[in-house]
Amino acid sequence: MSEQEPKSTLRNRRTTVEDASDDSDTATTTATSTASSSKAKAKAKEAKEAKEAKESSTATSTKNGASSTTTTTTTTTTTKTSSARQSEAQKPSQLRNLLLSLMIASLGVVLMSAFNKFVMPTREITIEQSVGLQGNCFQIADIPGPAAVEIDDRDKLAFVSSDDRSWKQSSRFFHRPSSKTELNGGIYTLPLSQKHGSPKECKLKGYTYDDFHPAGMSLFQYQDDSKAWINRLFVINHSHKGDVVELFDYSPATNSLTFVKRIESSLFVTPKDIVAVDQDRFYLTNQHGMAVKYGRVVEDMAGLALGSVVYYNGKESFKVLESLANPYGIAISPDATQLYISAFSERSVHVYNMTEDVEVGELVHDVDIWVGNHVDNLSVDKHMGDLYVASHPSYSTYLRHSLGYEPQSPSHVVKIEKLSPENYIHQKSSQPDFYFFPTPELPPLKWEVKDLFYSNGEDISATTVAAYWNGDLILGSSTSHHLLRCSLRMDQ
């Protein structure tokens, strides 16, 4: 029993060892499984933390993105606001620069125009002794402001428009009164066959208007159905209500003018002179584009060419020429094929060819005749076709005189003689050949300008018209109170 006990003990010990081994394996397995579980938990925890970190990162990035977007939007809004403020700040600056540029340009134009009118000298005036004007002039017809003269060769009469223009200083216009005046103007007839004939005022028949200030005129003679001669007078009336054209028929027996009709148009802005082409139709010059006094001053000083020529076809009026530099006088050739227009600022006379379409009255430019002085009204010798042009040598003196600040102003009259083809004056250019620019060939001169009369203003100041009749000149001025008659013949 005692021997068996150790075996048993050994066996038990072995068994115990095995059991211990098994227990150890179990413990190891348990430990392993516990470790695995811990690792799994750790991994799960790590995964969870990673997921939370990822979500947190995503949320953070989303938040950051939103914040960035907000910041970008705020920055963009700020930029736009800043740009708008800069743009608004730049607008006054740009406008100021534009106005400054316009002022500088306008000043340059005004200075250039002033130089051309006041500083640039006119051409030298040469009066031939053979003309015979010296000592052959005398005053006639003591009437106020004889601005226009029309010659009636058939009846040997001169029609003279007269107005004292005492309203000029107080008027807001230069060419017409701005309110009703106490005195009206009138139209006179002067017998040309009498050397010192006295003027007679024409009685107006059938004329119901109480505001009459005649200026430019045109006489058109025609025969009616009974073959009787009709003397139709077209008269520009500077009424205080607006400029109009009045038509009268003259009766020599009673020295009266019978009213025919009045023509009004918004295109009659500053009418200066008129020429009739038949018993109803006429052309009219608008001296300026602005009617108000100071607007005209700006127009003159800046040298703006805003004048025009208006055509009335018997039914309606419309402009046929625009952008002219102060068109003053207008006349028609004896054969009614050409129209002559004097441009005051350009010191020239423009020649236009007339077209056959009487409804349109289109004019085609032919040639410009340079006179050299500031040209006023003109008249035509109905037999020879020559032009007689009144002009002003000094613009500044003429302006001061017309405004009443100068007692007298020089007067100048030229004759523009129409040459026959065999007497054309051939011109030679002074420009030499220069590489690819050969000397230009100039057209021959078809007109010749000759000086006929010059005065410092003692006998007549600022002559506005010079009408020719039978070797004599009838000179008138809107600022004088008489006419001047001068003989062009040596035997007088």
Q: Is residue 109 predicted with pLDDT exceeding 90?
A: no
What is the DSSP annotation of 1-58? -TTHHHHHHHHHHHHHHHHHHHHHHHHHHHHHHHHHHHHHHHHHHHHHHHHHHHHHHH
Model confidence pLDDT, tens digit, residues 215-236: 999 999 999 989 999 999 999 9
Summarize the confidence of residues 442-468 as an average pLDDT. 91
Q: Is residue 16 predicted with pLDDT exceeding 60?
A: no
Give the pLDDT confidence score for residue 134 in this predicted structure.
Answer: 52
132-487: what CATH class? mainly beta
Distance CA 165, CA 383 (A): 34
| Window from 193-202, 245-254, 398-407 with minimum mean pLDDT | 398-407
More confident residue, 165 or 340: 340
Query: Both ends of the chain: CA-CA distance in Å?
Result: 200
Tell me the HSE value of 126 on the side-chain side, using a 13 A CA sphere.
Answer: 6
Where does the pLDDT of residue 29 fall: very low under 50, low under 70, confident under 90, or very high at 90 and above? Answer: very low
Tell me the whole-structure pTM to 2 decimals.
0.73
Give the pLDDT confidence score for residue 445 in this predicted structure.
Answer: 87
| 293 three-state secondary structure | helix
Where does the pLDDT of residue 296 fall: very low under 50, low under 70, confident under 90, or very high at 90 and above? Answer: confident
Q: Is residue 27 predicted with pLDDT exceeding 50?
A: no
Give the pLDDT confidence score for residue 429 in this predicted structure.
Answer: 72
Scan for tokens 């200066």, then name that residue.
272
Q: Is residue 41 predicted with pLDDT exceeding 90?
A: no
Scan for tokens 């025969």, then name that residue.
223
Model confidence pLDDT, tens digit, residues 388-445: 999 999 988 998 888 778 899 999 999 999 888 888 888 777 767 666 667 777 778 8
Where does the pLDDT of residue 198 fall: very low under 50, low under 70, confident under 90, or very high at 90 and above? Answer: very high
Q: Is residue 51 predicted with pLDDT exceeding 90?
A: no
Give the pLDDT confidence score for residue 116 in this predicted structure.
Answer: 58
Q: Is residue 468 predicted with pLDDT exceeding 50?
A: yes
Give the pLDDT confidence score for residue 141 in this predicted structure.
Answer: 87
Q: Which two tokens stand for residue 215?
A: 């200026």
Give the pLDDT confidence score for residue 33 in this predicted structure.
Answer: 45
Where does the pLDDT of residue 381 fall: very low under 50, low under 70, confident under 90, or very high at 90 and above? Answer: very high
Give the pLDDT confidence score for residue 404 in this predicted structure.
Answer: 79
Model confidence pLDDT, tens digit, residues 469-483: 999 999 999 999 999
Summarize the confidence of residues 296-309 as an average pLDDT. 84
Nearest alpha-carbon partner for 380 in 416, 327, 420: 416
Give the pLDDT confidence score for residue 332 in this predicted structure.
Answer: 97
Q: Is residue 13 predicted with pLDDT exceeding 70?
A: no
Q: Which two tokens stand for residue 143?
A: 């009437």
Q: Is residue 180 predicted with pLDDT exceeding 80?
A: no
Give the pLDDT confidence score for residue 6 in this predicted structure.
Answer: 42
Give the pLDDT confidence score for residue 281 in this predicted structure.
Answer: 98
Percent of the chain scoring above 70 in pLDDT: 69
Q: Mean pLDDT over all residues of the chain? A: 80
Summarize the confidence of residues 312-320 as an average pLDDT. 96
439, 428 in Cβ contact below 8 A?
no
Exposure of 400 by Cβ count < 10 A (0-12 exposed, 13-18 middle, 19+ buried)?
Answer: middle
Binding residues for Ca(2+): 273, 376-377
Max avg pLDDT among 94-98, 129-133, 229-233, 425-429: 229-233
Q: Is residue 47 predicted with pLDDT exceeding 50?
A: yes
| Window from 11-15, 167-171, 393-397 with minimum mean pLDDT | 11-15
Q: Where are the beta strands (DSSP E) in 183-333?
A: 186-191, 200-201, 203-205, 214-223, 229-239, 242-251, 256-263, 271-276, 282-286, 307-312, 317-324, 327-332
Give the pLDDT confidence score for residue 438 in this predicted structure.
Answer: 74
Domain boundaries, the chain: 1-120, 132-487
Where does the pLDDT of residue 114 fall: very low under 50, low under 70, confident under 90, or very high at 90 and above? Answer: low
More confident residue, 47 or 249: 249
Q: Is residue 367 predicted with pLDDT exceeding 60?
A: yes
Binding residues: 273, 376-377
| Window from 126-140, 230-244, 303-317 with minimum mean pLDDT | 126-140
Exposure of 452 by Cβ count < 10 A (0-12 exposed, 13-18 middle, 19+ buried)?
Answer: buried
Q: Is residue 110 predicted with pLDDT exceeding 70?
A: no
Q: Is residue 26 predicted with pLDDT exceeding 50?
A: no
Residue type, 262: R
Give the pLDDT confidence score for residue 462 in this predicted structure.
Answer: 94
Q: Which residues contact 214 (CB under 8 A, 6 or more apart)?
A: 148, 161, 162, 163, 185, 186, 187, 235, 236, 237, 238, 246
Give the pLDDT confidence score for residue 31 in this predicted structure.
Answer: 40
Q: Is residue 20 predicted with pLDDT exceeding 50?
A: no
More confident residue, 437 or 63: 437
